[in-house]
Amino acid sequence: MKTEIRSKLRVYIFMALCCDLGLFAKKLISPAANVITEFLHIPGGIATSCSLMFLIIAASMIPAFGCGTLMAIVQSVLALCFGMTGSMGLLAPVGYILPGLTVDMVLFITRKTAKDMSLSIMISSIAASITASLTANFLVFRLTGIVLILYACVSGTSGSICGLLAAQLVKRLKPVILSEKEIQ
């Protein structure tokens, strides 16, 4: 009984840590990412992919549908409280929750079909990054044509890079965070 409670507590602490790390990483990466996006004359998408990476790490390690969405909701509340809403303002929770839902849906589908979790993680990272950029575009930017395609491509590319990194981190963190019974 105590072991089960400790195991659940360890998972919840890990989820909370990933939410915080996602916000921290976004704030840390944004200045460097802005250099690239300003050169391309697009709104962003790189720092968001880095932020989503931590949600994907936790959601891929915890095999419960809704984990990514729950963490995205928590992250959106924290972003509102910390004033980290960016250009979306009060609509920022939508920009956090839709990518979290995308992570859950992609991981749910790919867990059933993929043998290797690395591919699932990368696909979910790409899909979540593109979802985040399209959501931001729909709510705020209203880009069209080639600029919108470039924006989505940059988001997808940064999502794939962060997905590769997330897959490596999951391989190393899974034995540390989860018990033997939960890994199998």
- Tokens 């990054």 correspond to what residue? 129
What is the model's pTM? 0.87
pLDDT (0 to 100) of residue 59 = 93
CA distance 71 to 51: 12
- Binning pLDDT at 50, 70 and 90, where does residue 179 land? low
| Total Cβ atoms within 10 A of residue 179 | 14
Among 5-14, 99-108, 147-156, the range of highest mean pLDDT: 99-108
Tokens of 56: 């994907």
- Tokens 């997905």 correspond to what residue? 163
Alpha helices in 62-144 (DSSP H): 67-82, 92-113, 117-136
Q: What does the pLDDT look like over 79-130, one tens digit per residue? A: 888 888 777 788 888 988 999 999 999 999 988 887 788 899 999 999 999 9
Rounded alpha-carbon distances, angstroms, from residue 56 to 21, 92, 98, 156, 164: 12, 19, 13, 15, 11
